[in-house]
Amino acid sequence: MSVNSDVRLLQQVPLFAKVNPAHLQVLVFSSKRRTVSEGSFVFKKGKTGSAAYLVLSGQAVVRADNSTSSPAIAQVGKGTLLGETAMVAHGPYSISIQAVKKMEVLKITNDTFMRVCEEFPEVGKNVLGVLADKLELTLKDFSEVKHRFENAKSFSGS
């Protein structure tokens, strides 16, 4: 794959959809490709991360823990961005990603992301805006679930 095809793939990710393609070229060019063999983990739950991974090819499963025997909760493939919170904020990964077919990923580190944001502040503004919108939706969903639990009838009949 070329830098341009990686940029087009990154443009399809909501987090980067509004970012200028020229700035995405810098991000892609500064990032590293990595091959993940079948059965290997891209990253494991609980490990403090500092990178996101764009799936360029292959498939992986999402696991709720680090066991290869735990059930898969989702499948991901080409065009999926994994670990964006770690890329932005150096947090622990909340899931595990295990390759089920050989994968090629683009590893976008926090350092690379921050350098691009320093050079082109509008990149950070766009990305943080998308993350803020995502957080707002999550909080709204959480509030709705909380409301439903608070107003639910008891199973005991009392």
pLDDT, tens digit, for every residue of 61-81?
999 999 888 899 999 999 999
Cα separation, 155 vs 138, in Å, equals 28
What pLDDT score does 124 carry?
Answer: 86
Class in CATH terms, 3-150: mainly beta
What are the backbone angles phi and psi of residue 105, rounded to the nearest 5°?
A: -130, 155
Count of alpha carbons within 13 angstroms of residue 1, beta-carbon side? 21
- Residue numbers of the chain with a pLDDT score lower than 70: 1, 157-158
